[in-house]
Amino acid sequence: MNGSYFEVNVLAIAPGTRDSEAGMKRQIALSDLLTEFDERISSELNVDPLGLQVIWSAYGQKIFRNRISSISNDVRNYTLNLFNHWVTKALVEDDAVQLGKGLLHDKAYAGRGKDSAAFKQACMIYLENVFAFAMVEVQADASVQTGGVLGISKARRRWEETNGNPQLVFSPGARAHVLMRQNSLGVSGRYKTPLVEMGFFDGSYDYALPSSRPQWQKAQAQLFAQGKPLARLQALMHAHLAEVLADVRREPELNFAELPQALKHAFVAAFRSPSSVGAYARDFWLGVTELDQGAPGALYEALKQEWLPDGQVREQPTQQVFALAAGRASLAAGDRDKLERVRVLEPFLAELDLLLGVMLSAKSQSLAEVLAGWKSLDRDGDTLPRLAEPIEVNAAMREQVSGTAAERLTELLALARSNSVQQQVESLLKYHERVMDARGQSPWLRLLNGSQLKIDVRIRPLPAKEDRPVDAWVHQYYVPQFRHLLSGMRGLV
């Protein structure tokens, strides 16, 4: 090594490299390999340095039972996914719909034909793509809302590349995908868990489970029966797919322009915006999700208080929404407990997040400076122990979570048993290192010589004392997602 350069032996030949360079030494500048710390990139990574999401989300899902999540909270996508499964279910059950020779002998279907998971995934992909392209075709229409359509950007790009006539392929494979990893990132992947939890099918898309029958009967009666909002679209799609499936090719394909015009128009009409879908699907979804009952129902009633007569919404902080919900006199004890557990948990988690924020407030600072920063926010050694105590004494609350969530909560409660802020800081740092190590990532900060903190990410400015009172909340427990779902049902988005 010489200054900022070092020598390497050339062992492999890249395309375009002369063969004579093999085995020779080459000088490489360190600047060609090492880059400056990029805060823009760093800020995108590891957004949960204490691994708290697994804890708060576990308690949040005790309330919502996986009906709502950060990726499944849109009434149009909810309904589109159910519709796509209804179409697929009808194809599976219709003996008159036969697979062509190519599909019938495709190894992907493992000899199970229409009842295979691969067939059902191919249906999902095809239906999602038809919808996305149909929406792109009419995107200039002011009544059509393309925002929130999964894969719309990729569909728009494909549309432009093909002069408005993209190819549609019936296959579960990547060749058919418009969206990268569409089986998991498309509508069917993102909205699979809620429908499984509600009992429409299991993880293998088995529609014939005895427990599924009542749910499908409700869907048919309210959405798919003759005269219902999605009946005509389902009939048109069934007829079209019956023709596609009869194709002799292993992967049937056609261009978008070959689709029946009536089918494209019906698809857009049924799903033109979340608000239009909410207008006909609201009562159905509230009924099957049971989000208007029990603990989520209490949150629902609290959120309804945000709705103003002129159609506007005056959002309340999540902390206040939970307080209003927990205070409902008609709430059953078990449902009230679900809400109260969150109200006990969140102030503790929020203070841990704030303590880490103090530790991250300067590129380099001593432990004494961290302690001073904590004190400047009106916190002391008793802050964490006081907030941890109601969790410590509530065994029933701790038993609500298991696995990683339980392990992390136990560790965090243990570090709060000390009344020494310095010990709390040192324990939180070690905890953070374990979380990051489990992810195979580097910690955000290090303790040098036992007294000096050095951070390797963007600093977090300390909040003003009045902006972060003790007991303030930072995690949202799916309330914004619930609010978004309800807004679609009310016709506001």
Q: Helix/strand/coil (H, E, C) string of 8-57? A: EECCCCCCCCCHHHCCCEEEEEHHHHCCCCCHHHHCCCCCCCCCCHHHHH
Within 10 A of 280 (CB to CB), how many other CB atoms are there? 15
Which residue is listed with tokens 């049902």?
A: 489
Q: Residue 411 class from Cβ within 10 Å (0-12 exposed, 13-18 middle, 19+ buried)?
A: middle
**pTM recorded for the entire structure:** 0.86
b/e burial code for range 464-477 (CB count within 10 A of at least 16 → b): eeeebeeeebbbbb
Q: What is the reported pLDDT for 30?
A: 43
> What Cα–Cα distance (Å) separates residue 110 from each residue in 96, 349, 360?
21, 48, 54
Structural contact between residues 460 and 354, judged by C-beta atoms closer than 8 angstroms: no
Per-residue pLDDT 10s for the chain (493 aa) are 444 444 444 444 444 444 444 444 445 444 444 443 333 333 334 589 999 999 999 999 999 999 999 999 999 999 999 999 999 999 999 999 999 999 988 888 878 899 999 999 999 999 999 999 999 999 999 999 999 999 999 999 999 999 999 999 999 999 999 999 999 999 999 999 999 999 999 999 999 999 999 999 999 999 999 999 999 999 999 999 999 999 999 999 999 999 999 999 999 999 999 999 999 999 999 999 999 999 999 999 999 999 988 878 899 999 999 999 999 999 999 999 999 999 999 999 999 999 999 999 999 999 999 999 999 999 999 999 999 999 999 999 999 999 999 999 999 999 999 999 999 999 999 999 999 999 999 999 999 999 999 999 999 999 999 999 999 999 999 999 999 999 998 866 5
Contact 391, 348 (CB under 8 A): yes
Nearest-angstrom CA–CA distance, 472 and 165: 53
What angle separates helix 333-359 from helix 403-415, to the nearest 10 degrees? 60
Q: Comparing C-alpha atoms, which of 349, 337, 355 is closest to residue 399?
A: 337
Per the structure block, which two tokens stand in for 132?
């996305």
What's the chain's Rg over C-alpha atoms? 28
Closest C-alpha to 251, from 47, 109, 45, 139: 109
Q: How far apart are CA 83 and CA 96, in angstroms?
A: 21
